Structure 1
């Protein structure tokens, strides 16, 4: 089978060569087509960080194995890592964190083994990067969470947890504050949980999770999170097992999947052949199992674990009283241990059952839309208006314009109500949210736009959001103090 390989930046080429050398020594039945991606491709003038030929190759082969990549700073370009995940809809990020003998942590010294699977939604949330300046002082980021996107991701989570015999699957969220976005994520989790009654499914507020992970991480098994929260928590979990150098990562999609090291490019040590290839190797083993190459994956992982038990280590970890080895020596030690088993946590060998991974190219964009949505009505509009005046002055101006269809119900600033009631201790920025609600009966988009036209006589309207209701459920939040 052939896969696409991007070596990456900094230490990427040397650790990728090391991993592929280990694969070759183990008889992994893969061939490679190398593609151009990374900072050096940005520098050649490709704004996506990849050449068109690279994109075509990856879309033809369906699997990308990539080293760490750097996005140029200050050039207005998007992260190549995020772009790759989003363009190819690799909607589930899977990272497995486990205690490794020879990698000392607080928990290994206490005799507490850790094995956590963090599943992070990979497409939505603030990682859409949809940001605008409303005024010179106020920036806004749109956090988009969709029901179909949540259902697609969470079905994968439950299916994966069921197949690997998980004892517990936990949804981490901030639905106590972000009641619509995180609330939607949690609702979808609970809905799918009913289809897997054999799994213990529960939820936890993400800040409580962060505290519990550093106190008793062994109590958790599989954890599902939204994109930004998952990014933070997955790095936290890497710290529990020794750092990002031991954190494998897979980005799973229906058509294309990406397996990568998630640590940095470490340009300060590039070319010195002292980098630790373990993270990329573990990611590669996830890729082999994804492709049904179980036998060689088990051989390599058992050899890696045995090598770590022997105390062989690169300079970034291990017993400081023993000399570290260079990257080629680390690989040679693993290869010499093929066929040997670690004293603890040996991986069972399974026969290969190769999986066809070549995606069929879609003829059009797939639309993710829920079936049978609840009836929608417009209850009004939030107008985001620029003003450095006092709330009472802003309200007086807004009250000139509601007409017969609307009434001004509240003014808020940075999410806190400042009119008709509020506190003088509330500091205000120069963007107010003026909420105009219908007087009776649903209103139309045209009536909202007419209102915008009238209000714009007194203010610059920076943005607006319709107040939507679905069936009996309000689709908008209240201001703090409203």
Structure 2
């Protein structure tokens, strides 16, 4: 008997979780549940991360969390419990499977275009690091973290998952044409991993083009892997292709802990009315059952769900309006009544269960993920972000006085666009500039040189932030300004 942690969630969470667990119980799924305290009501009791310490310890001991939707209190300066959980336990791969469900009408099902797309979203990094600063009263800065080890983790997972499911194609969605270093690193990792899977067709698509193609020919895609923010947006787009978030499951997979949840929110407007659709959470439950080796149970229940949907049974948020809708409990009972039946379309095969118990890891320290640490590092210069409402030439005149014998002023940009030594009077400015200084004659600099320049320049400007201009090996590790 495998024991898992269960958090019912907020809003409609308890209703749909009870419905799903009733289906599992009727199917005699060999799981034991330990209920944990997480969600908005835990925030309200003073727990800033939305979970009690006992809940965190239980989840870390058991390795699996099955959770309902959870709300983060607004205006209290706290982080999303959903994002916090994924990041705390390094569930680096978010897998969302979007399939045509017969009985759930969409423009594609009516046109006879089948959809079977799996989105794998990096789950830890990107702008979801939530590292933001107001560097002037008019300028907000968000730091976007894309790391080689983090990218390799999720991309290796995506390729391995695609290979096991017999996928024909795996696609990297990206914006490397604009974000050449961050998305460029992700894309570089994608093709590095692709070399180990010669039987899989691996290609890449710029994310805006990907979105257009998904809403015109979704049947041409199989597995798509993306960075965090882009993956979040694209996965919700895919939910719209198959009927909405009510049919969007989610598995957050890590090396030690995995979280299974529906994508949709807490729907407070219908909470307590007993009319919520439990399908998304049930679909997420199938991923959980497969994760612990209960393949036959997962397929048997999924066949019953698919048969139920094909029969026209529905909750109030979808289906034939000429047929009465069922409430949450009635819908679960209808699925239970169809155990043993198989749908006409895409029935799941009978399989043998290989139930496994999750290993409890007693970690003594945090894992350090690091790539090749032997690469030669060199400081070529520094970007100094300064606050000023002066014109570009006035900024340059002051900066040139501080360059000294080690630095040369290369360019000045505003919102990423060069405004000195060349630029246009038609470029609108904000009160934050980036002054780029590089070393004279390409001599290596050290941090003390940079600090000296910082101190000198601070005599004329308020320095908001700085970034070193590094070279790793023979590659410059910084971008150019627009127009540079």
- TM-score between the two structures when normalised by the length of structure 1: 0.99
Cα distance between partner residues in 2 of 1:355 and 1:131: 42
Q: Which residue of 1 aligns with 2:462?
A: 460
**1:124 matched residue in structure 2:** 125
2:447 to 436, 445, 448: 445
SS class of match (1:308):
helix
Partner of 1:423, secondary structure, is coil
Q: Deviations over 1:135-176 (max 9, x none)?
A: 000000000100011111111111111111000000000000
- Structure 2 residue 472 is matched with structure 1 residue 470: yes
What's the secondary structure of 1:182's corresponding residue?
A: helix
Match of 2:7 in 1: 6
Contact 1:387 1:432 in 2 (8 A): yes
Partner Cα separation in structure 1 for residue 429 and residue 470 of structure 2:
26
Report whether the alignment pairs 1:282 with 2:283. yes
1:371 offset after TM fit, Å? 2.4
CA contact (8 A) 1:384 1:464 kept: yes
After alignment, is 233-242 or 358-367 more displaced? 358-367
1:81-131 CA distance string (max 9 Å, x none): 000000000000000000001100000000011000000000000000000
Query: What stretches of structure 1 of length at least 5 have no aligned partner?
Result: none
Is the contact between residue 256 and residue 359 of structure 1 (CA under 8 Å) also seen in structure 2?
A: no
1:113 matched residue in structure 2:
114
Find the residue that maps to 2:136 and give its secondary structure.
Answer: coil
CA contact (8 A) 1:85 1:91 kept: yes
Give the distance between the partners of 1:216 and 1:154, measured in 2 at CA.
24
Q: Distance in 2 between matches of 1:311 and 1:176?
A: 46
Deviates more, 1:264-273 or 1:217-226: 264-273
- Against the structure 1 CA distance between its residues 154 and 373, is the aligned structure 2 distance closer, same or farther, given a 3 Å change threshold? farther
Q: Distance in 2 between matches of 1:326 and 1:117?
A: 29
> 1:359, 1:397 → 2: CA distance?
60
Q: CA deviation at 1:372?
A: 4.3
Q: Which residue of the partner structure matches residue 77 of structure 1?
A: 78
1: CA distance, partners of 2:375 / 2:417: 30
Partner residue of 2:310?
309
8 Å CA contact 1:380–1:468 kept in 2: the answer is yes
| Corresponding residue of 2:377 | 376
Encode CA deviations 1:30-78: one digit per residue, 9 max, x unaligned. 0100000001110111000000000000000000000000001111000
Q: Alpha-carbon deviation of 1:357?
A: 1.4
Distance 1:473 1:187 in 2: 14
Per mean C-alpha deviation after superposition, the further-off stretch among 347-356 and 178-187 is 347-356
Structure 2 residues without counterparts, runs of 5 or longer: none
Aligned to 2:168: 167
CA distance in 1, matches of 2:374, 2:384: 26
SS in 2 for 1:467: strand
Q: How far is the alpha carbon of 1:361 from its aligned partner?
A: 2.0
| CA–CA separation in structure 1 for the residues paired with 2:330 and 2:134 | 52
Match of 1:216 in 2: 217
Structure 2 Cα separation of the partners of residues 359 and 135 of structure 1: 47
Tell me the equivalent position of 2:399.
Answer: 398
- Give a deviation string over 1:386-422, Cα, whole Å, max 9, x none: 0011111111111110110000010000000000110
In the other structure, the counterpart of 2:349 is 348
Post-superposition offset of 1:471 = 1.6
- 1:328 is matched with which residue? 329
Mapped to 1, the partners of 2:153 and 2:298 lie a distance apart of: 28
CA contact (8 A) 1:99 1:115 kept: yes
Give me the whole-angstrom Cα distance separating, in 2, the residues matched to 1:410 and 1:62.
51
SS state at 1:134 partner: strand
Q: How many residues align?
A: 482
Q: Secondary structure at the match of 1:408?
A: strand
> Hey, what does 2:413 align to over in structure 1?
412
Question: What is residue 29 of structure 1 aligned with on the other side?
Answer: 30
Could you tell me how far apart the structure 2 residues matched to 1:294 and 1:112 are?
28
Question: Partners of 1:57 and 1:171 in 2: how far apart?
Answer: 36
Taking only aligned residues, the RMSD between alpha carbons, in angstroms, comes to 0.6
C-alpha distance in 2, partners of 1:101/1:323? 18
Matched position secondary structure for 1:156:
helix
Q: CA deviation at 1:470?
A: 1.1
Aligned counterparts, 1:257-276, within 5 A: 257-276=258-277
Q: Helix, strand or coil for the counterpart of 1:328?
A: helix
- Give the 4+ runs in structure 1 shifted more than 3 A: none
Give the superposition deviation at 1:374. 2.2
Quote the residue 2:483 is aligned against: 481
Aligned twin of 1:364: 365
CA deviations on 1:437-466 (whole Å, 9 max, x unpaired) are 000310001100000000000001000000
Cα distance between partner residues in 2 of 1:9 and 1:29: 26
CA distance in 2, matches of 1:469, 1:162: 36
